[in-house]
Structure 1
C-alpha cells in the first residue's frame, strides 16, 4: 500500500505517508494564502525519510486524501460570492427570519442566555436577492400550483442583472417532489448555457439536504452555494499542484459524514470539519481492532480541542442539524464538539472573575505564540508550557521551530502578571490549569448530555498537544486510562488515510412501528423496502460514477427512532435491510430497545408511548485497505519492564505541587514496548511531547502507542 493523506488545521498541516509497510509522519506550518505550499513542505519532510523525490512518490501512490478547514475559514472570514436565491412565492422571508431565533445559533452558552442582545450574523444572502417564483407542491408531493416558467425566467434575469454569481433554489416540499427545482435548473441552463462566459452555478436544495424542514434545508443550500466557488478553485488548485508533480489519479476529499469521495462527487458543505472527523474515524478503527470498548476521542491541536464519542458496537453519533459558524444546516455529519482550546489559544485577564481566561481566540500559525519569535505579542498555552519546563526550546517540532523563552516571559508579564499580582511561573500555572479545566468541562458535558459516564470510557489523546495535556484533563473527570495512539501528532491524517469511499443518503418520514393507541404494529412492508432500495441505488450510482465496481459496493442501514414524542432520538444500526413480516418489525423494535437501554439504562425504555422512525439513512461504501493497529493490546495484557536511565532531567512546575520538580526526560524512540515509567516524567519525540503528571504511570505499547494510567 502506498498512500498520502493530509489534514490541514488552523496552525499545522499534518501529513501521513504509507509506503510499502513504512509509516512516515510529518508536520509543517499551515500556509493559509496557498494551502498547497504547506502540503508540499510537509510531504517534502516525508520524502527525506524515504530518500525519494516528490515526483517519485506522487507518481507511484495509489491515492492522495485531503481534509481541510478551508470551508470553515471562508465562512468565518465572510469571503464568498454574491448569492441569488429562488424560493416559493410567499416564503421570501424564511431565511431572513431564521425561525425568529437564528441569531442565537452558534453562540456560546452565555450568548444564548442573553438573546435580546445577541448579535445577528451578517447574512450570506441579502434579502433583496431572494425572489419568489409562482409554484407549489403539497407535503405529499402532489401538484397544487404549476411552475410559472415565464416568472422563473424573469426572476433569474433580474438576479443576474443585480450581480448574482450563483443561484440557490429552495422550494417548499422539494424533498418530496423535486420536479420544480429540476425544471428551474433546466431553465437557468437554457438562459445561461455552460459555454457562455457568464454561465452561473446553480445549487438545488433537495440535492444538498434530503430531510424536511424548510429553513434548515434552505440554509444548507445557501452555505453550500456560498462555499462552492472557494472550495472549487482551492481544491482544483491543489489538484493542479498534484498534476504538476506527476500525480495522475483523482484526488480524494474527506467528507464530514465519515467517508470520502472524488472531487467531482463532493459538495462544499461536506468538507466542513473533515479533519476532526477523520480523527474520529481513526479512533473508531483503532478501538475496534485493539478491543478498547468505549472511547472518547480528543484532538488538541494548535487552534482547537475536538471531542468525539466512539461507542462499542459501531454506532456513530451524528449531528443531524449541526451548526456551522452561525448557521443551522441539515446534513448528516459525524458528531463532534469543538472548543477554542489549543496550543495557540490566547490567554488574557478576566476582569469579572479576576483570573485567567484562555481562548477562544488563537494565535494560529501566523504570527503564532509569542515564543515562536514571529511577531506574536500575546501569551498562549504553548508559551505557558514552555516556561513550565515541558517543552524543549531547541528541539520543538523536530527542531524546525526554535522557541524563544524570553518572548514568552515578556508576553505573560505584560499581559497578566500585574493584574494577577503574581510571578510569571504562577501565571503560567494558572494558564495551564484553566485550559485543562475548560477542556475537561467540555468533555464532561458532552458525555453526560448523551447519557454516558466518563469512567466507562478510555480517553484517546492525539493531535500535537493531546499527549501534553491529557493527564490534567483526565484527572478532573475520574478517567483512569488514556491511550496516546500511534502517530498521535498526525492521527487525523492517519484517519484520512483509512477512510472508505462512502456516500450517505437519507429520507425524513413519519413511520410508526408501534401505535400505542391502536396497539397496531407496522405492516406497510413495501413502503419501507422501497425507500431503502431507492436510497441504496442513489448511493450505488454515486460510487459507480467514480469508477467503483458494483460487486464491491456495500450498504449499511441506520434508523433514527424515538419513543412517542420524546425529543431524544436514538440511532439503531440494522443488519437486515428488508422487512417481510411482523417478526422483522419486532426485530427492529428489539434492536432499538437494546440500544436505548445501553445508552440510558435498562428499564428506561417506554414502548407504551409508541415507537416511530423519523429518518431512514443508507450508507453506500467501498472498503479500502487500511493501516492496521493489531499490535496494540489492552494495557492489562502488556508485560511491564523497568525503564532505562533517563537521558536528562529538566526543571518543571506542576499544578498542585509547590516549587520546582527535577523531572526525568526520556527519548520516545529509545523506549521499548512494555517499559513503565512513573510520573512526573517527560517522554519527548520529534513531533509531540508526552507529559506524565504526578500520580500517573506511562506504559509504552507497540507501534509507538502509549498508555497513561492513574497510579
Structure 2
C-alpha cells in the first residue's frame, strides 16, 4: 500500500493506492499551526472510511510520499531562520546588487528589493581564489574564527558560505565548514559549491542563503514528520516531492531543503502529462490546478514538461532567485477560497486574498464573512450543500446567499445569480491571464492544447476557461481533486549533479571533459547505490551548459552520447548546441564554436509502474436526479445530476449538467458535452463556435 499527501493552503489531500493498483482519495482541512496534524487527520479519515485501524492501515504501507508548502511559506512570511552570510573579502554586496534586472526599467517609484540576508549579517572573510583555482590569498583562519565568535554573540541560527571561485577550488569553503562545525556546533550551514556549483555568483550565493535559512525549520519538520508517522504505525519509506518534479528521501531534503520550495505544485504537470496522453493521446497540454488559495498552471509541450531556468520566489527581480532550474509553474491568487469584493469605484475583483482553511468560505460556517468563489458556486446551484467532501461538511446556503447579495449584488445593482456568475467570470479571466503568460507569451497557441483540470474547485469554471482559450477538449481526471498527490504516485526518485569545467569546441580539451563526466558518473552512481531495493529501473541523462563566444547567458543542451570521443564526438556536441539554440531563439551560428562552462547529470529512478489506477470511492448518494442551477444561457432551470461512478464510456452528457464525485463538482456548461474514458476521467468537448 502507498500513500501520497499534498498539504495545500486550504485542504490536505491524500491518495491511497492498494497493492492491486486501485486508488482512493480523501481530504481534510489543512492545519496551518501544525501541518503534520492535518496529514494525520486525513490518514484517520481514510482509515475510518476503509474500516481499518489507522495503525493497521499504515502498517501495510511501504511508501509515504509527501508534498508540502512549509518551505515556501517560511520564505514568503519571513519566518525562516536568522541566517548569516560569509563571503570573500571585498565582495559583500553580492545579494544586494544581484544581476541588475528590473521588471519596469524606468519606474523608479518601486523600492529596490532588500537582500535575502541583510548586510548587517554579511561578513567578509579574508581569502581569495582565482578563476583558475590558484590561491591568491590564503584563508585567514584566525580572522574567520573571530567572525564565527560574532555569529555566536548575535545568536545566528544558520550560516551560508559563498566564496569567489569556490566552484573551481572549494578548499576555503570546506575549511570554513570545518571551523563552523568546531566553533559553532549545532548551527547548520550550507556551502555554495555543494548546493549549487555554478558560475553565476548571485545565483549560487542566493541558493546557499535560501538553503541555509530553511535548514533548521525543514530538518525539524522532516524529523517530526517521520517520527509522528512511525508513532502512528508507518514503517516504510518517507519521500518528499521536489521542485524538479521528482521525489527524494526525507533525510536528503532535510540536508538540502531548497529542493522542497515548490514541493506540491511540481507534481500537477507530472499527473497532467499522464492523463493528456492516456485519455486523448495529446502531447501538448495546459495543466491547471485550482486549489483553495492559488491557481497553479503549467504546460506540456511535445510530451515534455518545460523547466524555468530563472526560478523566482515572488516577482522576477523583486523577489529572490533560488538559483535552481525547476518545473515551470505559474501561481496566481485565484482559487475556491478567493475573496470577492467591490471597491469604492464599483469594480468587482476576486483574489488574491483568500479565506484559506481558517475561517474558510462563508458557507463553511466557521466565521467567514466575505463571499468567495465557493460561495458563488453554491449560490448558482453547482454544489450540493448536503454532500460537500462526501458529506464531511454541510454548507450553509443561506449564509452564502446573504454574503453574495449584501457584498456583491447590491453594490453592483445585480440580481444575486448575476452577481454570483460575475464572480466566476472575473476569477475565470484571472486564470486565463495566468495561462496566457505561459502560453501566448512564450509563442504557444493554447487552442492547440488540451486543458487538464485539477483541484477540488476546478470544475466550477474549467469549461469557461477552455472556451476562452479556444481549447477543444477538457480532461477532468478522477483524481483531479488531488492532482498533485496523484502525480506523486507516479513520480520518480530524482537528483542532479553539476560540475564547472571550461573548454570550447574549437580547442576541445578531452581530459577536462573526461574528468567532468567521470566525476558526475561517480556521484550519480553513489546516489543510485542508496536508492534502496524498490528501484525498478534507472537512467542517467548528461548535458552541458554553454554559449557562443561573447554571449552572456548559457543554455542547457543534452549530450548526444555519454562520452565525447574524437572529432566526431565534438562535432555532434556542436551540432546539438546549434539545434537547441535555433529551437530557442530561431537562429543558429554554424561557423561559431561553442564555449562550455558547466556539465550536469540528471538521475531518475523508477520506483513504481508509472500508472494511476482506477478510483473506488467516487460514488455520490444523490437525493434527486436534478438540481436547480443558474446559467446565463438558460436562467434558473432544472439541470440533470450525474455521478462520476455512474458514467459509462459509451454515454455522452450534453450541457447543462452537473457531474459529481465526493471531492469535486464538474459543471458541464451549455455548449459542451461530457464523456467518460477508460482511465475514469471525464473528457468534455467544447462544441461548435464555443471551441
Q: Where does 1:291-690 land on structure 2 (aligned, <5 Å)?
A: 291-314=281-304, 316-325=305-314, 326-351=319-344, 354-507=346-499, 512-513=504-505, 520=506, 523-547=508-532, 553-560=538-545, 571-574=556-559, 576-592=561-577, 605-607=588-590, 611=594, 613=596, 615-628=598-611, 648-655=625-632, 657=633, 659-690=635-666
Displacement of 1:44 in angstroms is: 2.2
Shift of the alpha carbon at 1:467? 2.9
Q: Paired residue for 1:236, among 200, 223, 236?
A: 223
CA, structure 1 residues 549+406, in 2 after alignment: closer, same or farther (shift >3 Å)? closer
Distance 1:167 1:192 in 2: 10
Q: Give yes or no for contact 2:626–2:639 (8 Å, CA) kept in 1.
A: yes
Are the equivalent residues in 2 in contact too, given 1:665–1:681 (CA < 8 A)?
yes
Aligned to 1:653, the other structure's residue is in SS state: strand
CA separation of 1:610/1:620 partners in 2, compared to 1, >3 Å: closer, same or farther?
same
The CA distance in 2 between the partners of 1:402 and 1:549, in whole Å, is 42
TM-score in terms of structure 1 length: 0.88
CA pair 563-124 structure 1, distance change in 2 beyond 3 A = closer
The aligned residue for residue 273 of structure 1 is 262
Q: Is the 8 A contact 2:290 2:296 kept in 1?
A: yes
Matched-pair contact (CA < 8 Å) for 2:481–2:664:
yes
Deviates more, 1:23-32 or 1:672-681: 672-681
Equivalent pairs, count: 673
User: What is the aligned partner in structure 1 of residue 64 from structure 2?
Assistant: 64
Q: CA deviation at 1:683?
A: 0.5
- Give 3-state SS (helix, strand or coil) of 1:186's partner: helix
- CA–CA distance in structure 2, aligned partners of residues 24 and 56 of structure 1: 17
Change (3 A) 1:679 1:507: farther
Q: In 2, Cα distance between the equivalents of 1:426 and 1:509?
A: 63
Correspondent of 2:669 among 690, 693, 700 = 693
Q: Return the offset for 1:455.
A: 2.4
Q: Which runs of 5+ in 1 are unaligned?
A: 194-198, 514-519, 633-644
- Paired residue for 1:79? 79
Decide whether aligned partners of structure 1 residues 244 and 440 sit closer, same or farther in structure 2, where only a CA change above 3 A counts. Answer: same
1:382-421 deviations in Å (ceiling 9; x for gaps): 1111111111111111111211122222322333334322
Whether the 8 Å CA contact 1:68–1:274 is kept in 2: the answer is yes
Asked whether 1:168 is paired with 2:160, we answer yes
SS of the aligned residue for 2:471 comes to coil
C-alpha distance in structure 2 between counterparts of 1:177 and 1:48, whole Å: 57
For residues 155 and 453 of structure 2, the distance between their equivalents in structure 1, rounded to whole angstroms, comes to 48
C-alpha distance after superposition, 1:502-533 (max 9, x if no partner): 111234566544xxxxxx4x643443343233
Partners in 2 of 1:696 and 1:256 — Cα distance?
A: 35
Q: Note the C-alpha offset of 1:351.
A: 4.8
- Which position in structure 2 is the counterpart of 1:251? 238
2:18 is matched with which residue?
19
Deviation at 1:59, TM superposition (A): 1.7
Greater CA deviation, 369-378 or 321-330? 321-330
Structure 2 unaligned residues grouped into runs of 5+: 616-621
Contact 1:647 1:664 in 2 (8 A): no
Q: Is the 8 A contact 2:535 2:606 kept in 1?
A: no
Task: Give the alignment's TM-score, normalised by structure 2.
Answer: 0.91
Larger displacement relative to structure 2 (567-576 or 162-171): 567-576
Between the aligned partners of 1:614 and 1:360, the Cα distance in structure 2 is 41
1:563–1:607: 8 Å Cα contact kept in structure 2? Answer: no
Q: Report the Cα distance in structure 2 between the residues aligned to 1:464 and 1:511, rounded to whole angstroms.
A: 51
Return the offset for 1:320: 2.2
Local SS of the residue matching 2:469: coil
How far, CA to CA, are the matches of 1:508 and 1:654 in structure 2?
59
Matched, 1:39 2:39: yes
What is the rounded CA distance, in whole Å, between the counterparts of 2:683 and 2:578 in structure 1? 35
Asked if 2 retains the 8 angstrom alpha-carbon contact of 1:648 and 1:666, the reply is yes
| C-alpha separation in 2, matches of 1:468 and 1:442 | 17
> Can you list the C-alpha shifts for 1:635-660, whole angstroms capped at 9, x where unaligned?
xxxxxxxxxx99522222235x3632
Distance 2:332 2:105 in 1: 19
